[in-house]
Amino acid sequence: HAFSLGASKHYDGVSSTASKHYDGVSSIASTASKHYDGFSSIASKHYDGVSSIASTASKHYDGVSSIASKHYDGFSSTASKHYDGFSSTASKHYDGVSSVASIASKHYDGVSSLYSL
């Protein structure tokens, strides 16, 4: 899957053991589940480059621009809130990132809204 490549290595040492998830969002889900910025399931990396979804969102420096029209400070395209609180609207993406939403339900910044798919 496009998500599996970029998520295998992270600053926190989370290995690519996340490659097995109920919907195939390999590497993104649990690999990214432990990040200081709360982008957990959506991307393996943080505000400085969502590399996990990067392969899906060809453009990104600090945000999934393909999935969201804006950067880490506002995923306005798919989510009405910023990196510190993805709205439930982010649960539906052209590439089926919906499962990622539920996985990202637990973050210090209250991404719980994503949980309600």
* pLDDT for residue 80: 36
* pLDDT for residue 36: 39
Q: Which residues of the chain have pLDDT under 70?
A: 1-117
* pLDDT for residue 37: 40
* pLDDT for residue 38: 41
Q: How many domains does the chain have?
A: 1
Please give the structure tokens belonging to residue 111.
């991404």
* pLDDT for residue 19: 37
- The sign one gets for the Cα dihedral 81, 37, 95, 21 is negative
* pLDDT for residue 86: 41
Residue 95 half-sphere exposure toward CB, CA atoms < 13 A: 18
